[in-house]
Structure 1
Amino acid sequence: MGPLTIDIMRQALARVGPAERSRLGWIIGVAEQSVNQDDELAELAVRQAAADTRTAQAVWVWLEASTSVRVDNAISGSAQVSGNVLQVGEVRGDVHLYAPAASSIPVPRQLPPPPAQFTGRLAELDALDQLGAESRVLVVNGPAGVGKTALLLSWLHSRTERFPDGQLHADLRGHGPEGPASALETLGGLLRAFGVDRIPGEAAEAAALWRSVTAGRRILLMLDNAVTAAQVRPLLPGTADASVVVASRNRLTGLGVDGAAFLPVGLLDEVAAAGLLERRIGHRRAQAEPAAVGQVVARCAGLALAVSLVAARLAARPQLTVAAAAAALDRENGRLAALRLDGEPAVQSALDASCASLAVAPARLYRRLGVLPFGEFGADDAAALTNEPPLVAEELLDALVEANLVEELGADRYRFHDLVRLHAALLARAQESAADAEAALRRVVQWYLAAAGAAERILTPSHAVPRHDDGEVRQPPPFAPDDQAAALAWLDRTRTQLAALVRTAVAQHWDQLAWQLVDAMHPLFLRLRAPELGDELHRLGLAAARRDGEPAAVARMLTDGARRLDNLGKPAESGAWYQQAYELACDEGGLKEQAQALHGLGRSHRSAERLTQAEACFREALRLREAIGYRRGAELTRLLLAEVAMARGRPESAVPELESAHRTLMALEDPYEAARALAFLGQARTALGRFDAAAQALEEAAGLFRGAGSAYWEARVLELSGQLAEAKDNPEQALACYRESLARYQQVGAADRDRLSEAVRRLAESEG
């Protein structure tokens, strides 16, 4: 190891994490005792390790060998090696190479773009550097519109390389009209960013899963618009390597017990405010009217948002003098003083002046965006509000972005600052007729209903109703008519908007729209669970359906809502809802509805371990479904009858039911449910000692579930494969299957993880 290489390693010490630092320091100490060559390859490898922490691990192994330190490793049995590996020495026995599976989940990079015209705040940036080095939780607080978010984004974007495992962002909506975001809602978004598609229904469980998912990860989490310490605390990651930054109008001193550091942000001084204005409108223009620049700065009262709004107006209108903009602020402040926003007249004046310069169509869109029950939106929302084609709506949104009234998040996503949103809502009430505002909002609900209905027809066609009350929706859904993945992703991405619109429809007494929208969200609740949200919305949908006076709608809300209750672990209440659905179906004379209610009632009995009652319900449901020729429904009931037989220790009775269900469901082109039949068939064959046939069924089921993107059922098949390995007296393979199954159960937040944890513990102890 040559002197130059050792010097490079010393420089690299400052660029790596604590674990790599200790390793590299140890190697330097050994190398200094055995300086005998200046190998160009060694220098090249160490240079690469200094720039790339992934390479550092492999180089560490190689350097150990080159410094006369021998490390002997043995790999045997079913062990596997993943990641970057460097072999030094002999390789004995067979070598098998496997290509690692590519991850379908990219590393989260969620931070909004940094502000283009950020200036000043040097003292605050220095303070952030110091506080960020001392504490993993940092709270930045200050008045509305003072520029907290801009400050943090400018600072954070210079530090992203320190967080290679992800940079996440969540708006906690502390001052939004719909109220602060719940912990469960925010945790759901954060967990889904790491590929967790099954979120626990309880906030405490979701928080525990979040801590498990983030353990050992070097991540950054920015929480914007927080209102209380209690809102933030469940979101703190489970690792000391993570950093959390919080922006709030409140001090949030309660986070001090969590080790938080605090930085208050005040108003811009005159020099910084003038610099911000100058950077946007240009040096020459600002220097030509220094007195007017001072007047604008004074009118904006040190609020960064107000300065940015005036600067955007001047930049968009080169012929407008700075003096004229200052005079407009004076006029608007006097004329509309009654429309203060959270006591901030400077923001009010700037917003009024910005809106006065808009053309008619963008101004109308701005007002109507204020009636939305959510603060993040896209071109489809704008198109529905204005009754214009999406391309025209995009042009109108561009005009609002140019005026600095709307923030562009990328990928057709936009949002309001909460003060701007309040201003738009005030203007909507003052300048839009009640009929026009209501019609615009109704079109938005109808568009979401049309899009959700299209997703439902793609994902769960057997559940979809023939027609929704979606009016004359002009724009198509944002996914192809045969793209299941895109349809499910859209439902997942817009769940917050969909829920807000259900609540809005209820408040507006649009009962038919309310229950139909809940009904169309069925694939979201079926595939992605969201049991707590599903419970809330089905209760609202049930009340709306009853007011609407449509028995079939009431029955659908009862049966689907009962399934959400069953998923929440409430079999008694679930059974009561199914019983109501059954009685209603008997009154109306619908055999299909009776069978559906009995099928669900049997599920509730099965969850409560009442196997005799469960089998009786399933037998009657099967009889009715076969009588009316509902083949798919009959086979789904056979699946549950087979599950009851397995629970009673009668796998020989389950096999014919499962084989029939698999054949029919494949013929009906329902591979997802056919895969469930195969999974249970593998379990039954294992119990009967038919190991080869069991392995074949489980392997085929695993492939079908991978194709359907069902992480939960992939985990279930792995668990059943572990049971098969145990039956074949292969505990090593069983333990490997159980561990992988447990990891996937944890990923989707399934309650099954407790059962698998016990299986892993049992086998690990027996091996030890």
Structure 2
Amino acid sequence: MASSFGPLLRGLRQSTGLTIGELSHASGVSVRAIGDMERGVSRGPQRRTVEALADALGLDDEQRAELADTARAGRPRTADPAPEQPGSNALPRSLGDFVGRTAELELLDERARTASADGPTPVVVVHGAAGLGKTACAVRAAELLHERFPDGGLYVDLRGVDPAPMATTDALRRLLLASGLDARAIAEDQHERAGQLRAILADRRSLVLLDNAADEAQVRPLLPAHGAGMVIVTSRRTLAGLEGVTRVPLAPFSPQESAELLEALSNRTADGNAVETETAAETARVSELCGRLPLALRIAGTRLASQPEWTMRHLAERLSDEDRRLANLAVGDVGVEAAFALSYVALPEQAKECFRRLALVPAVDFGAPIAAVLTEADRYDAEDQLDELVELGLLQHEGTDRYRFHDLIRLYANHRLHEEESDAARATAERRMTDWLLETATAAGRWFDGDSPPAGDEGHVRFTSPEEARVWLLVKKESWLAALRLAAVAGRDAQVARFGEAMNWIANETQVWATDWLEVFGLTRSAAARLPDRRGELWHTIRHVWARLTVAAQRRDDKALREAAEQAMEAYQLAEGLGAVREQAEAVCNAAEAWRLAHDDDRSLWAYTRGRELAETAGDQSTYFWASGGLVVGLAQAGRYDDALKAFRSMLRTIEELPAPTAAAENTRWFALARLSTLLADAGRYGDVVEIARTSAAALLEEGNNWAPLTHRAVGRAYLGLGANDKAREHLTLAIGRGEARGRWQPRPAFVDEVNALIAALDDEAGAPEEIR
């Protein structure tokens, strides 16, 4: 075999008696290209060129194979960087302690399998925030895939986060030189250079790694169209404008991967004894403080390895200081903060301001409306800024229209906020945000305090129905609760009290938040006490009592229930002194609830009766129905079933006779039907329960509101007692599923356990032999 392609081609041409011009005419290959080949300027022409020359020369199979092999041998491998650009095609040093990314590497391997000479070249974009190990993942993939690409690999760092990223023309030149093309043959025009690169790569089974890409415009000319090779691009951006590519997003490590990397780098492993168990817990703590970010973990592990006297606990204590955490996650010339800064400086000024001020948000996630409030932008501009932050990996999507920070990036945003904005500017932005959160929550809460929508402007959020208002309050709870705390600390008492008043009805619907409501009404009660309105203070005191007894009831704490009853009676006496009849009724009903739950039946029945009398005097329909419902439940609890049934039916008749039942009356109707069904089921009157389900409670079961689960349970028990097992199973299943699906009333564990036991009994019976059944 000839030592190089040029002499071999010249010898074959001369043996046929053809001139270069004649060979050019017969093969379609230009005279200049053939001349470059024979002179050794072009040492490894593409496959299609070699085949065209072989056809024109009339070579036999043996000669064709020799010419093709010599051309392939002339193409440089990864280990042979071009002299003019040292290292331009050499992969970065691999990590011997590489861990994780199993799924991502499998996807890259899957895409590599699709590479074929006649198909489009597979292109994969590995993207994610700073510090996620994009380059490490791509280099690891290149190592694992090297046998699939025997023509070697090409590498170029596109310096995408530098102030001046590498020009595409320069990147093309580097790749062409690394591919073996003589510098004199490289075209000046960028489009021609891109064509030269595509022509070379079309005939090679090579892997090209384009690291640290800035944007689509920089990358697009570097991509081959067809061929058996593969391209891996890494970027902080998603490069969404590139078509026909596979995107591999990187996320923080799992807890297990984080611990594995920390232990590998720090030479600390667990062997199961008490000390090592403690170390494992501290390793998990360090992992979380690093946000399970590979770069942060690598720095933490390196610091431990270089400081043998340090322990995991010592490092965890250092990282626990939020003000110093980023400073502690730096070693040598590598640091997490520096990595984030490269993305931050690339942002437009408006996006920088948005990024900084989002650190003020007191919740884990947030949406465009709050970003608009913080930056005083309209919602559409805010959405554009958020999208820019996501594109650069500084924010993460959390669902369709929600966003969140990585923990370390939030710290960086907070640092930038304090470095770049004055105390006054920060305070103004925070006040604007808390005002908006509280006023919007107040407007949402008012949808439930009457039969007509509230007046007012909710700013960047408009509610058109109670359901929209409810969803907003549910989703934003963490934010508005934090805003309430800030307003309370700032002494904005009127605003805090007004907020509490609006939360009255939604609090009743979301008793699963009892601990939060206890805090809310504790804050509003304290705020109201500093205002001149004594009746207002009384109202907030009563709501605080309600929250206190709700928490005590959920915990089944009889002592706490009795203490709540005492506090309620203190409020009752205060209301009596102020001549506040309505507040007297509410206070004594709270005491009645607490006594009933503590099984003090006599005092409970007295208090419910007194509450109903006072509510009727005050014309307070809501409290009247509350007291009426509690009275019948208390009668049943005391064993006075006949009296309880009469009271239930009387209460339902009262509601039916109303010309236009209020929301409170409707809620009481469903409550009464649920409790009546339960009471009848307890008494074994199953036919009556089924009749109620078919008639008066049919709408309740269809709507699936807060009281539907209790009614379904009662109806399921009735059908079970009547031997209609399929119907029983249907209603028992809905008793659990309907409440959870609505996201409002959630069955307590004891309720769920009881219903599951009934369903299990049905399953056991269904599986029993016929003779046993």
Which interval holds the TM-score relative to the shorter structure?
0.5 to 0.7
Which residue does 2:444 correspond to in 1?
455
Q: Indicate the percent of aligned positions where both proteins have the same amino acid.
A: 22
Aligned letter for 2:424?
A
- 1:566 paired to 2:559: no
Task: Map 1:323-362 to 2 at 5 A.
Answer: 341-344=327-330, 346-349=335-338, 351-352=340-341, 354-356=343-345, 358-362=347-351
- Deviation of 1:621 (Å): 0.6
Partner of 1:619: 609
Equivalent runs, 1:340-739 vs 2, <5 Å:
341-344=327-330, 346-349=335-338, 351-352=340-341, 354-356=343-345, 358-461=347-450, 474-477=459-462, 480-482=463-465, 484-514=466-496, 516-517=498-499, 520-522=502-504, 525-528=507-510, 529-547=512-530, 551=537, 552-570=539-557, 571-665=561-655, 667-670=660-663, 671-683=666-678, 692-700=687-695, 703-706=698-701, 708-710=703-705, 713-725=707-719, 728=722, 737-738=731-732
Distance change >3 Å, CA 754–CA 400, structure 1 → 2: closer
CA distance in 1, matches of 2:571, 2:620: 19
Displacement of 1:547: 4.9
Q: Deviations over 1:356-401 (max 9, x none)?
A: 5544433332222122223421111112212333223223333434
3-state secondary structure, aligned to 1:370: helix
1:128 to 79, 92, 102: 102
Residue 284 (structure 1) aligned with residue 155 (structure 2): no
Looking at structure 2, the residues matched to 741 and 347 of structure 1 have their Cα atoms a distance apart, in angstroms, of 50
CA deviations over 1:328-352 (Å, ceiling 9, x no partner): xxxxxxxxx9996554464434544
Whether the 8 Å CA contact 1:341–1:423 is kept in 2: the answer is no
8 Å Cα contact 1:632/1:665 also seen in 2: no
Match of 2:422, as an amino acid? S
Query: Could you say which residue in structure 2 is the equivalent of 1:238?
Result: none
Contact conserved, 2:564 with 2:594, CA < 8 A, in 1?
Answer: yes
Contact 2:689–2:714 at 8 Å: present in 1 too? no
CA contact (8 A) 2:327 2:337 kept: yes
Confirm or deny: 8 A CA contact 1:582 1:598 kept in the other structure. yes
CA deviations over 1:714-749 (Å, ceiling 9, x no partner): 321122124434665767865775566466689834
Report the 3-state secondary structure (helix = DSSP H, G, I; strand = E; otherwise coil) of the residue aligned with 1:582. Answer: helix
What is the CA distance between 1:605 and its match in structure 2? 1.0
Partner of 2:239: none
Alignment-mate amino acid for residue 478 of structure 2: T
Residue by residue, what CA displacement relative to the aligned partner does 1:227-257 show, whole Å, maximum 9, x if unpaired? xxxxxxxxxxxxxxxxxxxxxxxxxxxxxxx
User: Does the aligned pair in 2 maintain the 1:598–1:618 contact within 8 Å?
Assistant: yes
The amino acid across from 2:714 in the alignment is L
Aligned position for 1:178:
none
* Aligned match of 2:50: none
Q: Taking structure 1 as reference, are residues 486 and 150 closer, same or farther at Cα in structure 2, changes over 3 Å only? A: farther
**Which structure 2 residues correspond to residues 243-254 of structure 1 after superposition, within 5 A?**
none
CA positional deviation for 1:604 = 0.9
Cα separation, partners in 2 of 1:375 and 1:686, compared to 1, 3 Å: closer
Q: Cα gap change, 1:683/1:559 in structure 2, threshold over 3 Å: closer, same or farther?
A: closer
- How do residues 155-170 of structure 1 correspond to structure 2 at under 5 angstroms? none
Please tell me whether the aligned partners of residues 709 and 736 of structure 2 are also in contact (alpha carbons under 8 angstroms).
Answer: yes
Partner of 2:208: none
Sort the Cα spacing of 1:286 and 1:596 in 2 relative to 1 into closer, same or farther, 3 A.
farther
User: TM-score scaled by structure 2?
Assistant: 0.52
What is the CA–CA distance in structure 1 between the aligned matches of 2:451 and 2:565, rounded to whole Å? 23
Q: Helix, strand or coil: the match of 2:381?
A: helix
Counterpart in 1 of 2:145?
A: none
CA gap 1:451/1:657 in 2 versus in 1, 3 angstroms: farther
The whole-number CA distance in structure 2 between the counterparts of 1:707 and 1:438 is: 49
Q: Which amino acid aligns with 1:432?
A: E
TM-score where L is the length of structure 1 = 0.53
State which structure, 1 or 2, has the greater radius of gyration over its C-alpha atoms. Answer: 2
> Aligned partner of 1:481: which letter?
T
Shift of 1:625: 0.7
Residues paired across the two proteins, number: 481
Distance 1:379 1:287 in 2: 38
Find the partner of 1:274 among 135, 157, 167. Answer: 157
CA contact (8 A) 1:745 1:753 kept: no
Contact 1:370–1:425 (Cα < 8 Å) also in 2: yes
Please report the RMSD computed on the Cα atoms of aligned residues, expressed in angstroms.
4.9
Q: Deviation string for 1:122-158 (max 9, x for gaps)?
A: 99587736999xxxxxxxxxxx9531799999x9xxx
Q: 1:462 to 1:607 in 2, by over 3 A?
A: farther
Task: Give the drift of 1:626.
Answer: 0.4
- 1:548 Cα deviation after fit: 5.3
Structure 2 unpaired stretches of 5+: 1-93, 107-128, 141-153, 176-210, 222-322, 766-771
1:277-296 deviation digits (Å, cap 9, x = unpaired): 499978826627979xxxxx
After superposition, the C-alpha distances for 1:444-491 in whole angstroms (9 at most, x for unaligned) are 222222332333233453899x89xx9x853233xx422x33332222
User: Structure 1 residues 403, 625: closer, same or farther in 2, change over 3 A?
Assistant: same
- The corresponding residue for 2:318 is none
Letter aligned with residue 715 of structure 2: S
Q: Secondary structure at the match of 1:752?
A: helix
1:256-280 Cα deviation digits (max 9, x unpaired): xxxxxxxxxxxxxxx9993794999
For 1:496 and 1:515, the matched residues in 2 are separated by 19
Which segment is superposed worse, 484-493 or 719-728?
A: 719-728
Separation in 2, partners of 1:731, 1:502: 50
How far apart, in 2, do the equivalents of 1:462 and 1:640 lie? 24
- Given that residues 635 and 664 in structure 1 are in contact (C-alpha distance below 8 angstroms), is that contact kept between their aligned partners in structure 2? no
The residue that corresponds to 1:146 in the other structure is 131
CA distance in 1 between partners of 2:603 and 2:136 (Å)? 63
**Which residues of structure 1 form unaligned runs of 5+?**
1-119, 133-143, 156-270, 292-306, 319-336
> Helix, strand or coil: the match of 1:146?
coil
- Residues 651 and 687 in structure 1, CA contact (< 8 A), matched pair in contact too: no
Distance 1:457 1:657, change over 3 A: farther
The answer on whether the counterparts of 1:389 and 1:474 sit within 8 Å (CA) in structure 2 is no
Say if 1:281 and 1:274 are closer, same or farther in 2 by CA, change over 3 A: same
d(CA) in 1 for partners of 2:506, 2:432: 22
Q: Relative to 1, partners in 2 of residues 1:618 and 1:399: Cα closer, same or farther, differing over 3 Å?
A: same
